[in-house]
Amino acid sequence: MAVDPDVVAKIDATLLPQLDRHHLRLLAHCLDSFRAMDSGTDGGLPDAASRRRWCEQQPLVIDDPTFLRSLLLQLEGAGQQLSNLAGELNKPPLDLTIDDLITAAVARCHHQLHSESIDDA
């Protein structure tokens, strides 16, 4: 699932709030990055050492240790989110699809709206 214009269009077609669509694009990009890092695992996310090695090979990261630390922290957070969703769907994280990510985001937004409407009542 490369984060190409078709994936972006699919995310934008959800009509989710702008912040949620942005989060979806970032999560999809992280998933795509994890797939690029994959070192032959069984669909699980690459470990921290593999992530670091991959990040250190990226031209925009190699000369900026502060950005590298920040990127690794963001990948850790995205990895946790993807692992949680994969667990709920009973599939390996690297097997998640854009449809899985969208369905989860839509469900989360519906849950938030429902919770807010109950709180307002």
Backbone angles phi, psi at 58, to 5 degrees: -85, 125
Sign of CA dihedral 88, 92, 93, 98: negative
pLDDT of residue 38: 72
pLDDT of residue 23: 95
Mean pLDDT of all residues in 29-47:
87
In three-state secondary structure terms, 31 is helix
Q: Kindly report, residue by residue over 73-87, the tens digit of the pLDDT.
A: 999 999 999 999 999
Cα separation, 63 vs 75, in Å, equals: 18
Global pTM? 0.86
pLDDT level of residue 54 (50, 70, 90 thresholds): very high
Mean pLDDT of all residues in 92-117:
86
Instruction: Find how far residue 92's CA is from the centre of its chain.
Output: 14
